[in-house]
Structure 1
Amino acid sequence: MDAKENCVRKLPILKEHEYRQKKCINYFSIHTFTREDRMAIIDWIHASTVFFRFDEHVFFYAVAYFDLVLSWEHTQPMGVERLQCLAACCVWTAVSEFSGPDALNLNDIHDWTDKDPYCTKRNIRSMYHFVNQRFKFRTFIVTPYDFLTCFHTILDINNTHNVTWMSLYLLELSQYNYRLCLVNFAPSLIAAAALFASLRIMKLIDTWIPDLSLLTEYAGDDPDLVHVTDILYWLFIQASSTDGYKSVHRKYSLMRRRCVAQIKV
Structure 2
Amino acid sequence: MNNGPKTGDKLYDESMDIIAALGGVSNIQTVSACATRLRVSLKDNNVVNEGVFKKLGALGVLKVGVGIQAILGGKADIYSQEINDILANPDKTPQSKPVVEQKTEPKVEHQSVKLDLTAPVNGKFIDLTKVVDEVFSKKMMGEGFGVEPEDGNVYSPVTGTVESIFKTKHAIGIKTAEGLELLLHLGLDTVELEGKPFTIHVKEDDQVTPDTLLATADVEQIKDAGKDPVVLTLITNTSDYVANAKNLVKSGDQVEVHHNVFEITTK
The bucket for the TM-score relative to the shorter chain is under 0.3
Instruction: Report 1 or 2 for greater relative contact order, CA contacts < 8 Å, sequence distance ≥ 6.
Output: 1
The structure that is helix-richer by fraction is 1
Q: Structure 1 length normalisation: TM-score?
A: 0.27
Q: Structure 2 length normalisation: TM-score?
A: 0.27
Larger Rg, first or second structure (1 or 2): 2
